[in-house]
Amino acid sequence: MTVESFFGAVEALLTAETMFWLLAGVIVGIIVGGLPGLGPPLGMAIILPLTLPLDPANAIILLVGVYSGSMYGGSIAAILINTPGVSSSAATMFDGYPMSQQGRAATALAISATASAFAGLFTITALILFSPALIEMVLAVGTPERFLVAILGLAMITVVTRGSFAKGILAGVAGLLVTTVGIAPMSLDQRYSETMYLYDGIDFVAVLIGLFAIAEMMKLAGQEGGIAKGEVTIDRAGVTEGITSTLKHPITVFKSANIGMIVGAIPGAGATVSNFVAYSEAVRSSNDPDSFGSGNEVGVIASEASNNGTVAGSLVPAISFGIPGSSSTAVLIGGLLMHDLRPGPSMFDPSGELTLTYTMLLALLVGNVVILIFGLSAVTQLGYLTKIDTDYIIPMVVVLSFLGTYALRINPIDILTVIVFGVIGFYMVRYNYSVIAFVLGVVLGDIAEENLYTALQLSDGSYMIFVNPLEYGRWISLFLSILIAALLFGPFIKRWWEDWQSA
Amino acid sequence: MEQDDTVGSIADRARAPLETVLGERPTMEHVLLVLFLVVGVYMYQGASEFAPDAQTFPRLMAGGTAVLAFLLLARNHLTVVAPLVGAGLGAYLAYDGATTFLADGGGLVSLVAGVGLLVAVVGFRERFGEAVESFVAEPMQVMGDKETTEAPTADETEREEPPADEADPEAAADQTSSDEESESAAMYVYEIDDPKGPVVTGLLCVGYMLLTFTIGMLYATPIFVIAWTLWVRMNVIRAVALTVLSFVTAYLFYDLIQDDIAEGWLTGWELPAPDDLLGLWIHAGDLLQWGVMLG
């Protein structure tokens, strides 16, 4: 059945319409990623409402195309103007920009395109090959465990993201609280619906657009710079050198792609972390660590291979349990939900959406080929993206955000939601509250509540189902509960233990 | 002595008591936390009206939001406040668990958690306060170096913190953001060069929304863009081009996706669409004639 689903996915992908949306997604992604200040979550959030008229498969393919394309696109601004188009390309600046200053911009961009594409191809292939085992694992997990996995994801985000523990948890819990407005899942009660415009709850698409588009535009409006001041010279002759350089470092590509994939699967860590981890590893294992930071090609390879490798990794918790590994996968989950696709076992069920899951993975595979071809052929034109002033970008992003949100349901609350969550998102990031945890809460709320509700029904309302395997026979639940407790209380217990030891 | 009645001094006088209560200068973060606290309390209270099955999740989340927001607001007084909050929460959980247990045999987890919390607070009051303080205020990081996760000593804290009246909260926020941006790969934070930019963008968005509710989004869109181009003092030709582009975008949404965007939700007004206006051109000659006659 799995093989049938796989070939069904190949057939679905190889239609002209699907290929068109994939191509469009990757190219839009490269452009969005290349514009300084914009990034994958913003690009995907704006595109999200526009996918409504499309069938679910094409909508998801468009979104993953934007995701994959913008991961590569982020390196363009990082290399050419020392401003990462996306935070996940921050490490690319360290060596990419010095290369650009040395007149080797084309080489750096070609390295970026080839390393991104090769890493993407490798990790997606690995994910497809690993998928039968993943399917077994996901289908073995029951309702109480799915609730605990959601809480585990939230706990991991608060631990991985920096800053106060309480701030991280507050962000996640507040996100979950947002989803309690409207019809309760399972019992169908109306909650907090003071006006009829809230009967369907607070639209998560509006929340995502507010958090990623409006908050980001408010931030951009307060920033100076980020636009190419002078003429950036990109000589096509460096392209071959870039390709050769990547091919000469297969171990760096392989290692960084793996780092990206593993770190990407950790909720909240995402490409920003994997980018730095892979770069640090490249420096550590180099014979000439001092050359990093002044135009070492290996630095660009490591950074770019890792951030595209992250895409595959972050999809694992996203489609398996609905837990986004990053902001971009949070929007992707939003896209799945918008098209009535539930992340979880049904995405791996051959009689459910397994074909769509494979189509999505294969689309990413083809998307990386598109990145390679487009990235290499358009090297000399990519510099134009860095010259577009944010004064033009900001109003157009706001306009697209408002139009996209309002056109979805013609619900005035949605516009208000966009603005309110835009302002909240702006200040949350400004004061170090994890927006990813908040988004996770918003995306996960219904799924978590539904699983909690079903789990409590199984246990006649007793929370012991999560911690008492002797009575309920759910050992995975106990393991997950211990893991959550260890993540949340481990650092404090460790400190107490150290204090006690030293005393 | 003459009273200084400037806006700044009035704001300073209003801020002083807040500063005493919070133990630090009030910033927009406190506004955000008060928002979370108020929403959390309101939603916790409101959840009691729902059917039992529908109230568990919102009560847990609203309660969590309110308690965490309160703890963050009181972060400078946690050694005193945390044991009180802990005792209150413990007593509530124990009472709730006990009554449920007596009624239907459930609520054991709540009872045990409540009693455990009470014992922890009563038996280890100082330790509890310190633990909550580190939970709320200290950076915790699994994927980071040790120094950055260590709590600053009291001496360091005193040395590093500028006097309240000298510190500019917004600048301090920027400084914090900037420092953490350079240190952290896991957290994405901003640097703001011009604080007016975000405020004006936010206000223009509110204006855009109000216009949308009045005359519909089709025509509100170019007006918003014109207002933006005026704010950034954009070159006229580029401003016109951007406005036209925004209007074309809005028109495509109107024509292809949803024509209801042209109607003002509050007023019910729907201004004539561009194609209707174009239709009026056939009367242009008549209008001109009337104009000449009237003239």
- Same domain for A192 and A296, yes or no, is yes
**Is residue A3 predicted with pLDDT exceeding 70?**
yes
What confidence tier does A179 reach under pLDDT thresholds 50, 70, 90? very high
Nearest CA in chain B to A461: B106
Element (H, E) at A253: helix A250-264
CA atoms within 13 A on the CB side of A135: 21
Residues of B in contact with A53 (CB under 8 A): 257
Query: What average pLDDT does the segment A454-464 reach?
Result: 84
Query: What average pLDDT does the segment A276-288 reach?
Result: 87
Q: Is residue B177 in a domain?
A: no
Query: What average pLDDT does the segment A469-487 reach?
Result: 86
CB A236 within 8 A of CB A106: yes
pLDDT given at position A268: 63
- Same domain for A427 and A482, yes or no, is no
- Judged by average pLDDT, the poorest of A262-271, A478-487, B238-247 is A262-271
Please give the residue range of the domain that contains residue B276: 196-294
Q: Do the Cβ atoms of B29 and A427 come within 8 Å?
A: yes
pLDDT digits (tens, 9 = 90+) for A90-122: 788 888 888 888 888 889 999 999 998 999 899
pLDDT given at position A233: 67
- Same domain for A162 and A193, yes or no, is yes
B247 interfaces chain A, CB cutoff of 8 Å: no
Phi, psi of B139 (to 5 degrees): -70, 130
Q: Do the Cβ atoms of B188 and A87 come within 8 Å?
A: yes
Give me the total of CB pairs closer than 8 Å, taking one residue from chain A and one from chain B: 262
- Same domain for B86 and B136, yes or no, is yes
pLDDT given at position B163: 42
CB A307 within 8 A of CB A271: yes
Query: What average pLDDT does the segment A258-263 reach?
Result: 88
- Number of independent structural domains in chain B: 2
Nearest CA in chain B to A49: B257
- pLDDT per residue of chain B (295 residues) written in tens, 0 to 9: 445 566 667 767 777 788 887 888 888 999 999 999 999 999 999 998 888 888 888 999 999 999 999 999 998 888 888 899 899 989 998 998 898 888 877 778 788 889 998 998 888 888 888 888 878 865 544 333 444 334 344 444 444 444 444 444 444 444 444 444 433 333 445 567 788 899 999 999 999 999 999 999 999 999 999 999 999 999 999 999 999 999 999 999 898 888 899 999 999 888 887 877 776 667 777 777 887 777 6
Phi, psi of B72 (to 5 degrees): -70, -35
Residue type, A267: P
pLDDT given at position B146: 41
Q: How far apart are the C-alpha atoms of B189 and B174, rounded to whole Å?
A: 9
Nearest CA in chain A to B35: A424
Q: How far apart are the C-alpha atoms of B29 and A133, rounded to whole Å?
A: 45
What confidence tier does A428 reach under pLDDT thresholds 50, 70, 90? very high
CB A122 within 8 A of CB A253: yes
Transcribe A469-480 into DSSP letters.
HHHH--HHHHHH
What six digits make up the tokens of A24?
């469009």
Q: What is the ipTM of this complex?
A: 0.80
- Same domain for B28 and B109, yes or no, is yes
Q: Do the Cβ atoms of A430 and B56 come within 8 Å?
A: no
Q: Is residue A233 in a domain?
A: no
Task: Write the residue in B62, B139, B232 that is nearest to A164 by C-beta.
Answer: B139
CA atoms within 13 A on the CB side of A8: 15
Residues 6 or more apart whose CB falls under 8 angstroms from that of B122 comprise B87
pLDDT digits (tens, 9 = 90+) for A133-176: 877 777 777 888 888 888 887 777 776 666 678 898 899 999 99
- Same domain for A148 and A215, yes or no, is yes
**Is residue A253 predicted with pLDDT exceeding 90?**
yes
Q: How far apart are the C-alpha atoms of A91 and A101, rounded to whole Å?
A: 16
Question: Residue A75's closest CA among A127, A17, A116?
Answer: A116
- Number of independent structural domains in chain A: 2
CB < 8 Å from B in window 315-374 of A: none
Q: Is residue B97 in a domain?
A: yes
pLDDT given at position A84: 64
Nearest CA in chain A to B143: A160
**Is residue A223 predicted with pLDDT exceeding 60?**
yes
pLDDT given at position B188: 44
Residues of B in contact with A427 (CB under 8 A): 28-29, 31-32
B197 interfaces chain A, CB cutoff of 8 Å: yes
pLDDT given at position B5: 61
Mean residue pLDDT of chain A comes to: 85
Please give the residue range of the domain that contains residue A173: 2-228+238-458
Nearest CA in chain A to B29: A431
pLDDT given at position B210: 96
A268 interfaces chain B, CB cutoff of 8 Å: yes
Q: Is residue B170 in a domain?
A: no
- Same domain for B266 and B133, yes or no, is no
Looking up tokens 């009337």, which residue turns up?
Answer: B290
pLDDT given at position A419: 96
Phi, psi of A315 (to 5 degrees): -75, -25
Please give, rounded to a whole number of angstroms, the shortest distance from the CA of B264 to a CA of chain A: 10
Q: Do the Cβ atoms of A428 and B32 come within 8 Å?
A: yes
